[in-house]
Chains A and B, each alone.
Chain A
Amino acid sequence: MPNQMRLAIMTGAGGVGKTTLAVNLGYEVARQGRKVAIFDLDPQGSINVACRLNKTPAPKATTAWLYSGFFDGTYTLTPVWEQHVKNLEVFQGGSALFKVMPSFSQTGGSKLLKEALSDYPVPHDLIIFDCPATLEQIPKSALIAATHLLVPLMPDAKAIDGTRVLLDWYAANVQELQLSPPPAFLGFAINNVEDGAEHQRLSKELPPRYEARGYRVFPPIKHYTAFTNAWSEAVPLRVHRATHPALEPIEVIAQAILQEMKGSKRGKARSARRG
């Protein structure tokens, strides 16, 4: 898969809407006729709720299988939201991922995801890695396998400082693992913006500063109860309400992904570092 895009959604803080973004972006890109797979790398397995999947799949049918050391190329991909879109599949995560943690203590464990995808390519145009909120071994494996990173953050002190930790972690790993080319930053998505003064202030102040450092910042996505309701119905936001205002900023990110798929040859990814 020479032009496969592998997008890792990562944060340095929890509860910023990673999974919501993952499923909605996956849905939007699949709507454009692309073949999309979402790999849930989170032991929480929240995608199982978002897409109403079996909550206790067999360990071999989850992404934990990739890290087991016995992976044989069997990706258990479950199509989701088939009545609304074709070509959107999920590789489930969940608690089995806790059990494979020991295999990471061996050096090389963090390379397993990349090795699996190069030894047994999948035909998708886009793979989204939904990572856990901690910056440990699983996100590290996603960093090694990814071509692009997307960083959702909330406009609050905790999440902003989380991005500092993430950027530091990114630079340290790129150097230590000699990732060449390193995954490119697709951008930062300011998420769950509320009406309070502090949220408003920070969502104004942050973008120019990230941009000055060469990172793209997507238009802010406001906090809406519609997201909560869509989760409850286990449908994407567009299915929940086709004209919802939050679809617009999500659309911008989806377009950026499609743009990267079209325009960028692998290895030409613009590095996010300032020279």
Chain B
Amino acid sequence: MAKRDRLDVDSFFSEVDQTQEVYNLREQIQLLEQQLNQQISHEQTLMAEIEQLRSDSQNLDHPQLQSQISQLREHLKQNQGTIQYSVQEIYPNPNQPRKTFTEEVEAMSLSLQQEGQLDPIILFEDGMLFDGECRWRAATHLGWDAIEAVFTTKPADSRILRRKAYLTNLHRRGLNALDKAETIVAIACDEVPELPPEEVPRIINRVLTRLKRKKQSLGERLHLQPHEQQKAVLEQLEIDSTELEVFLILLGLQEHPASLNRNIFPALNLASDLKAAVRGQGLGCAQALILNRLSASDLGISERQCLKLRNKGIKTVLSQNLSATQTQQWVTQEKAKYLQNSSSTPRDKRVDRFLSSVQRFNLAEIEASAEQLQELQQTLENTLEQVKHLLK
């Protein structure tokens, strides 16, 4: 066998190196995108706050406003440096609330002449003023050709920002299932006009159930495929245009609908006390979902007792750092206690409804006439008589 026909180890390794290179570059791109997005969102946040302060306060020399502006200026200076920009190219912001400048421009002209320009003005990319109209007018007045400036982008539409923020991994990794679910729903509603938020998880669940019935599946890696391919796969399934749109939005966020349906969207159904514990006390979403199964109607107890029980659950999970499996065991034990207590005879729903309305009923909040109260007393006494009779 001739030597050149044999496996050439070096050419083999150059292949290994190439793929490795691709992954390294991808990782770098991710990192850079993250940094860039962080910078942009920091910038955008500052801009939004400044605009807010400007519209709120009539006093434009408000110290907080000034400090925010100088923070933004420093941020821009650091990230891109200042440049000399032609005074002629600059035009004022039509939304500038201040209309009279005379005295200040004179004072500013003097200061520019004596000390030079201390702070760069802030411009949008097209040369519109964001901050520094006074300096610009003074420079024009002095006949300067150029003025020191930093640039910022026009505040993007909040929809784009929301999407961008979500797509930075940084943001995504720290989100718990509840926040993630709400953000995803908000993004979908941004993109599909007239879509009520509660409809998003329903659509996903509906379509997936339909696929399951027909023994079809989306494939495990669909969210990692190129957009065109996702579209092609979805169009082969029988789904309507809204459903298609919602699926494409989620896939575009690199989320798999099946995984969202199973792991993320259920968090939207958490009881409000559990939602609060997830947000405020760091209760894990998986554990919260298990505790959510403790419902008043199942256990045959009042809503208030159930709330108490869930609260006990939250405390137990947090203090003992229970895993999802251990939480499940705790819930099973608790359920067993209640179900032993209650007899196995079926409960009448009407009685339950009456019970819970009486339990919720708080006379302290009510302004009732004496007449009405007497009527109430009479009715309750009659009902009590009937109950006594039945219990004999």
Interface residues of A (CB under 8 A from B): 72-73, 105-108, 118-120, 157, 160-161, 164, 167-168, 171-172, 175-176, 178, 198, 201-202, 205-206, 209, 213, 273-274
Contact = CB atoms under 8 A, between A and B. Distances in A.
A118 to B, nearest CB: 8
A176 B13 CA distance: 23
5 contacts: A105-B217, A107-B256, A119-B326, A176-B224, A209-B13
A119 B16 CA distance: 37
Given A107-B259, A108-B259, A108-B263, A178 B16 contact: no
Given A107-B220, A107-B262, A176-B224, A168 B9 contact: no
A106 B173 contact: no
B20 interface: yes
Nearest to B254: A176
A102 B27 CA distance: 32
Interface of B: 6-7, 9-10, 12-13, 15-17, 19-20, 23-24, 26-27, 169, 173, 217, 220, 224, 256, 258-259, 262-263, 323-326
Interface centre among A107, A118, A119, A198, by most chain B C-beta atoms within 10 angstroms, is A107
B27 A175 contact: yes
A214 B79 CA distance: 35
The 4 tightest CB contacts between A and B, nearest first, are: A107-B259, A171-B23, A157-B7, A205-B9
Interface centre among B7, B256, B262, B263, by most chain A C-beta atoms within 10 angstroms, is B7
What secondary structure prevails in chain B residues at the interface with A?
helix
Contacts of B6: 198, 201
Given A120-B325, A164-B15, A209-B13, 10 more contacts: A105-B220, A107-B259, A107-B262, A164-B12, A167-B20, A175-B26, A175-B27, A178-B173, A205-B9, A213-B17
Nearest to A156: B7
Nearest to A72: B325
Contacts of B263: 107-108
A209 B217 CA distance: 43
A161 B12 contact: yes
B16 A164 contact: yes
Given A119-B323, A175-B27, A178-B173, A160 B259 contact: no
A128 B285 CA distance: 32
B173 A167 contact: no
B12 A160 contact: yes
Contacts of B323: 118-119
